Amino acid sequence: MGTPFRVLAELCERLERTSKRNLMVEMVANLLENLDHDEVEPAVSMILGRAFPRWDSRVLEVGWITLTTIIQRLTKTNWEVFNNAFAKTGDVGSAVKAVFEASKIYRQATLLEKPLTILEVRRSFEGIAEASGIRSRERRERMVEALLSVATPLEAKYLVKILIGEMRTGFYEGLMELAIAKTFHVPLEDVRKACMMMGDIGEVSALLKLRGKEALAHVGFTIFRPVKLMMAQTAKTVKEAIIEHGGKTAFEYKLDGARIQIHKSGGEVKIFSRRLTDVTQSLPEIVELIQREVKAENVILEGEVIAVDDQGNPLPFQHLMRRFKRIHKIEETRGKIPIKFFLFDILYRNGQSLIHKPYMERRKILGETVDEIRLTAQIVTGDVEVAEEFLKQGLSNGHEGLMAKRLNGDYTLGVRGKKWLKVKPVLEPLDLVIVAAEYGYGRRHNWLSDYYLAARDAETDKFHVIGKTFKGLTDKEIMEMTERLKKLVIKEEHRRVIVIPKIVVEVLYNEIQKSPKYESKMALRFARISRIREDKTPEEASTIQKVREIYEKQFQRRGKITKEFVNHDVKPRRSPA
C-alpha cells in the first residue's frame, strides 16, 4: 500500500512546533528509516518543500489564485475563516487547514476516502507538471482539485505548502544532511560531498537506502545533472584579498551578468542557471558556440553571460534577465538583446573530476579545452597598486568589481568560502525578499509600488522585515512587479497586500540603523532596489544574521554599538506591519 502521506504531514507538523535541532533530526531519521526505497527521495524532497529533486526542471505552475479558487470550490467555506487564521498564525498552510476544518461538506466527502500515500502525491505532482498543450491549465486545475479533495485538513496544509514552495518548518537542508547521516550511519562530510556532486540530497538518501554507504565512494559527476556552485565571500579592498590569499592572488573582472554551468556530451549541450534550472532554450548562441569551440567530448564548464549594447558595452543585469525568462520568440529577442559569454572555470573533462586541482591548473586546462571562447580577463599579482589599477579599469568598462581567487585553491562545491573573494567598491548590497507591498499614490495609485523588504533567518527559515522602499524600479518594472505580486497575494489590508515570499531583489542602502519599527530592531536607511534577482531563490536571500553582522561592524567602527542590541534575540516575524 505504501506509507501514508499523513505520516509525513504529521512529521512536518511536529517539526514546525519544535525548536530543538537534535530532536528534529531524530524525528526525520526515524521516518527515513521506515520508508521503502522508492519513497525516500520523494519524502526528503517534500519535507524540504520541493515537489521534485532540486535538479529536476519540471515545475508545477500552480499559482495562489488558482489554489484559492479550488479550495473555495471544494470547501464552500467563507474565506473570512482563512483571513482570520492567517492573521493569527501568519502561515498560509495553517490558514488553509482552518478552512478545510471548517467545511462540513468537505469533512463528509472525505470520510470514506482511502488514505493518500507519499508515492500517490508524487505521481499527482508529476501529472500536474507534465500537463501540456491545449487546455493544459484546466487539466492541471482538475488534478490539483482531485488531490486536495481526498486530503485531510492536515494533509491539505502541507500539500499547499509544497505546491507554492512555502514549507518553512525550520527544518532546512543542513539538518536533512544530519538526518541522513544518522539514518544510514555515514559520516556527515561524506553525505555533504555526495550532495554537492549529485546535486540533490533526496537522490543521495535514495542511493544510501538502496545500496548502502559503500555506494558513496563511487559518486561522481553526471553530465546533465547540475552541481552546486562554489560561492565567494567579500573583501573590502584588493589589499585585503591579497593578504588573505597569502600575498598573491588571481584577479578577474566581476561581471554584472548571470553565472551559468554548461554541460556537454558529444554534440548535446545543456545550460543551467545559478539556481540550477535549465535555461538552454534561452541561450541558443551559447549552445552553438560550445558545440563549435569546445574540444572535449564530455565536459562541465562555468561561465558568465552579460547583455551588451550595439557597441558591445555591458548593459545592466535586468536586460539579461529578459533573455532568461524568454522561452518563445527566442530569435527575435536574440536580435534585440545581444550577449557576450566568458568562461572562468572547468569542473570535469572526459571522465576526470578537476575540482581538487589548484585553481591555476584548472584555468590552464580550461584554456586548452576551448578554442575561440573568451576567458574572463585576469591578472596574477601581489602588488596592491597594480590590482587597484585593474579594478579601476574594470569599473570604467562597466563591470561590478573584481573576483580574487586563491592560486592553489580547489573548487569547493556549494561552499561559500575565502578561496574566492569578491571586491566591490560600494557598501555591500543585500538580497532581500518582498513579503508585502502597498499601492502608491498619484499616478502610482493602481500599482503596488511600495515594498516591504525582509531578510531570512538562517536558523528558523522565517523572514524578518528590515525596511521598506518605493525607489529603484522603472515604471515598466513596477507595472510588471504589480502583476507578479497580485498572483502571490495571501491577504489584503486596505492598501497593503501580504504576499508569498517569492521575489528576491538586490537592495542598496546608506546604512543599517537601530529601529523600534520592526521586530528585527533594525531598519535600512535610504533603501532602494538596484535590480530584481531572478537568478536567486528566497532561500538564497541575505540572512538576518548577516544584516546584524553588518550593523555591528559599521557601529563598532564608530564606537557606538550597544551591548543591549548585540544581545537582542530576533523573534520570527508574523506580519510586515
User: Active-site residue numbers?
Assistant: 254
As a whole number of angstroms, the distance between CA 148 and CA 68 comes to: 12
Whose cell is 529603484? That residue is 472
Beta strand extents in 350-458 (DSSP E only): 352-353, 378-381, 401-405, 416-423, 430-439, 448-456
* Lateral strand order in the sheet of 258-265: 268-272, 258-265, 298-307, 339-349, 352-353
Longest CA span, the chain: 77
Q: What is the residue-wise DSSP string for 312-323?
A: S-B--HHHHHHH
Among 172, 199, 229, residue whose Cα is nearest residue 417: 229
Q: Facing residues of 434 across strands?
A: 453
As a whole number of angstroms, the distance between CA 91 and CA 575 comes to: 10
Strands 401-405 and 378-381: unpaired
DSSP code, position 538? G
CA distances to 146, 165, 231 from 422, rounded to whole Å, are: 49, 31, 10
CA distances to 223, 397, 475 from 487, rounded to whole Å, are: 36, 39, 19
Burial tier of 329 (Cβ tally within 10 Å: 0-12, 13-18, 19+): exposed
Among 476, 534, 129, 505, residue whose Cα is nearest residue 325: 534
As a whole number of angstroms, the distance between CA 216 and CA 213 comes to: 6
Q: Considering Cα of 31, then 34, then 40, then 46, what sign does the dihedral take?
A: negative
Q: Note whether 263 and 272 are within 8 A (CB).
A: yes
Q: Note whether 60 and 125 are within 8 A (CB).
A: yes
As a whole number of angstroms, the distance between CA 279 and CA 168 comes to: 27
First to last CA, the chain: 47
